[in-house]
Amino acid sequence: MRLFMNYSFQFDAVFAAWPQLVKGTLSTIELSMLSMVFGLMVAIVCAWGKTAGPRPVRWVINAYIELIRNTPFLVQLFFFFFALPALGLRWTAYTAALVAMVVNLGAYATEIIRAGIESIPKGQIEAGLALNLKRHEIFRFVILKPALRTVYPALTSQFILLMLSSAVVSAISADDLTSVAANLQSQTFRSFEIYIVVAGIYLLLALSFSALFRVIYRMALNYPAGR
């Protein structure tokens, strides 16, 4: 094609920088996994508050969910990185990114887990009461675990969306994979080659995470559940 003639692809500069790319990939994996774990914890607490808490608690949780779900992640990130330090809070770009991701995922995952909790039949909870289980035991074994199993596909695709949107944290240079790519780009001017390789890495990460989630499902949630 005539169009391609003027440009010769040079991937050498990209592959020469593989140690930085590996470091960036590991950093994105770390950031994603930490925010999945903490975000899930936030979501479980909020989902419990939303389904069983008193009215003011439910109101606050609803406000949190609506606020996060109706504003862009990039703006939330700027808020945590630029606005909160103006109030005297000092933290690094990495911490601000992690907190923004946890807060963001927490809101989405709360709604997903709440839907799972509401799908648990009343009889199942009453059975738990009849077996004289304690309140926290009922929540943990009778409500939460089956609820997580029900919403597992929605929850894990939210996790993967979060991992992909973590590329946005490069806007505050949080040392993730996309930040590495942006640095390489400004040193080598091989923008297209770098971004195509990095996009490939993200695709591999997305596929690996979904494989990992299938393994976790088989190990932790794949018990027979007849109705």
Partner 1 sequence: MRTFGLSEFLFILEAAKWTVALSMMAFIGGAIGGLIIALSRTSHNAVARLLSGIFIQVFQGTPLLLQLFLVFFGAPVLGIEINLWVAAGAALILNSSAFLGEIWRGCIQAIPGGQWEAAHALSLPYVSRMRDVVLPQAFKIALAPTVGYMVQIIKGTSLAAIIGFVEITRAGQIINNATFQPLIVFSAVAAIYFVLCWPLSLLAARIERRQAAALSR
Binding site for partner 1 (CB under 8 A): 2-4, 6-7, 66-67, 69-76, 78-79, 82-87, 164-168, 170-171, 178, 185, 191-192, 195-196, 198-199, 202-203, 206-207
* Residue closer to partner 1, measured from CB, 46 or 104: 104
CB of 182 to partner 1, least distance (A): 9
CB of 75 to partner 1, least distance (A): 5
| Whether 93 contacts 173, CB under 8 Å | yes
Instruction: Check residue 88 and report its DSSP letter.
Output: T
CA distance 4 to 215: 43
* Residue closer to partner 1, measured from CB, 96 or 102: 96
| Whether 170 contacts 176, CB under 8 Å | yes
CB of 198 to partner 1, least distance (A): 6
CB of 147 to partner 1, least distance (A): 19
Count Cβ atoms below 10 Å from residue 91 Cβ, excluding itself.
14
Q: Please give the structure tokens belonging to residue 71.
A: 């504003």
CB of 181 to partner 1, least distance (A): 8
* Residue closer to partner 1, measured from CB, 102 or 162: 162
Instruction: Check residue 119 and report its DSSP letter.
Output: T
Count Cβ atoms below 10 Å from residue 167 Cβ, excluding itself.
17
* Residue closer to partner 1, measured from CB, 43 or 166: 166
**DSSP for 29-53?**
HHHHHHHHHHHHHHHHHHHHHHHHS
CA distance 114 to 46: 9
* Residue closer to partner 1, measured from CB, 4 or 223: 4
